[in-house]
Amino acid sequence: MKKIVALLLVCALAVSCLCACQSSTNDSDTSDYRIVKDHLDIEVKVPKNVQRIAVTNIFPIPSVLCVFFNTAEKIVEMAPASMTAAQNSLLGKLYPELLKVDTSAVDGDDVNIEELLKQQPDLVIYSASTPALGEKLRNAGLAAVALSVNKWNYDCVETLDHWLEVLEAIFPEEATNRRELVDKYSKESLDLINSRVGSITDDEKARVFVLFQYSDSSIVSSGKNFFGQWWATIAGGKNVAEELEKDNSVPVTLEQIYKWNPDTILITNFNKYYPEDLYNNTVGNYDWSQIDAVKNKRVFKMPLGMYRSYTPGIDTPVTLKWMAKTIYPSLFEDIDIIDETMKYYKNIFGVTLTADEARSIFEPSSAAGVF
């Protein structure tokens, strides 16, 4: 009997030790990682001590990361499209270390896994529009987090806020009140704009055309389901191409633009051209001269601050006021956009810009539009 009791005690002790060891292993596993839900609702196991970040096919994110950390030191890979924006904007000047980041692994939505692995990333951020890429990254053993550009109907304010929300979940120790401040500034800008344009009737609204991409052989715009629709609507205008419901960018013809006859044209930094190129018909065989916006010199190049302002980004709150003032100058003549920009960067990010630096945001280099 004593032998049986002794045997039972030994077995109990062994089980206890095994459980303790397993618990210790689990605790260690939990202490080294955190679970983060991304914009595809995938629960991603992310190291707590992320030091090396690769950003693939979601081009604005390197600029958001720079401001989030107030350094570019964690970024080890990004797309060439992100680099050209950084090289020709305020971003590269404020965070020069970003200009040394590798870009060899990313080509649009294609990612060379072998090249990416050379950078030994702890975290890879990719676009939620390409779930197959996420699977490819996970199969390579990488912690891959998806961020979306369209989950919130191309609303730049909401999208930026949700990007920052995920970053705060991954890096809670880096979280400050900046997210709240950026969102507050955006909402205040929206309230101001709505108070002045909210009563404009449909017949009186500015007819806005967004020239997203442009070349000798093609004109690409924003239909109903892209950022151009949001920008035009939020500033009290009407996107003349909203009848086109294709998601993302959409090719159009000059004949369609003649029919729409916009009174305002916005040129993004996803192409290298300027208002003068439309005024003087310098591209291909296109003749813009009969369009109201061209006749009345109402063609404008969009700003380029930390990134191309057509997309969500750190500059979105300031771009809101620029957009409203550009479309309805008489309603917003009291807004000094250079002063607003300097205050925004100082109050939100602690960055002191000179007037010339602030002005450069609204006089972007054509090189930023070359991919």
* pLDDT one-digit tens code per residue, 326-351: 999 999 999 999 999 999 999 988 88
Domain presence at residue 294: yes
98, 172: one domain: yes
Last residue of a domain, one of 132, 159, 176: 176
Task: Note whether residue 24 is domain-resident.
Answer: no
> What would the pLDDT profile of 157-205 be if each residue is shown by its tens digit?
999 999 999 999 999 999 888 899 999 999 999 999 999 999 999 999 9
279 with 351, same domain? yes
Q: What are phi and psi of 297, to 5 degrees?
A: 55, 50
Distance CA 314, CA 162 (A): 13
Residue 136 within any structural domain of the chain: yes
Domain endpoint, select from 134, 155, 176 = 176
CATH code for the domain of 264: 3.40.50.1980
- One domain, residues 247 and 358: yes
Q: How far apart are CA 331 and CA 204, in angstroms?
A: 13
Q: Are 168 and 202 members of one domain? A: no
Q: What is the pLDDT of residue 29?
A: 52
The first and second tokens of residue 41, run together, are 């609702």
Is residue 190 within 8 Å of 161, Cβ to Cβ? no
Q: What is the pLDDT of residue 30?
A: 62
Domain count along the chain? 2
Distance from C-alpha of 302 to C-alpha of 305, rounded to nearest angstrom: 10
Burial status of residue 288 (CB atoms within 10 A of its CB: 0-12, 13-18, 19 or more): buried
Do 263 and 303 sit in the same domain of this protein? Answer: yes
Show which of 129, 145, 176 is a domain's final residue. Answer: 176
In the structure, what pLDDT confidence band is assigned to residue 31 with cuts at 50, 70 and 90? confident
pTM for the predicted model, two decimal places: 0.90
- Name the burial class of residue 321, with classes exposed (0-12), middle (13-18) and buried (19+) by CB atoms within 10 angstroms of its CB: buried
What's the pLDDT tens digit per position in 81-104?
999 999 999 999 999 999 999 999
What six digits make up the tokens of 225? 């389901």
Position 25 pLDDT exceeds 60 = no
- Together in a domain, 82 and 216: no
- Asked whether residue 250 is assigned to any structural domain, the reply reads yes
| Residues 211 and 75 grouped into a single domain | no
Maximum CA pair distance of the chain?
Answer: 106
Structural domain containing residue 201: 181-369
pLDDT at 22 over 80: no
| 185, 167: one domain | no
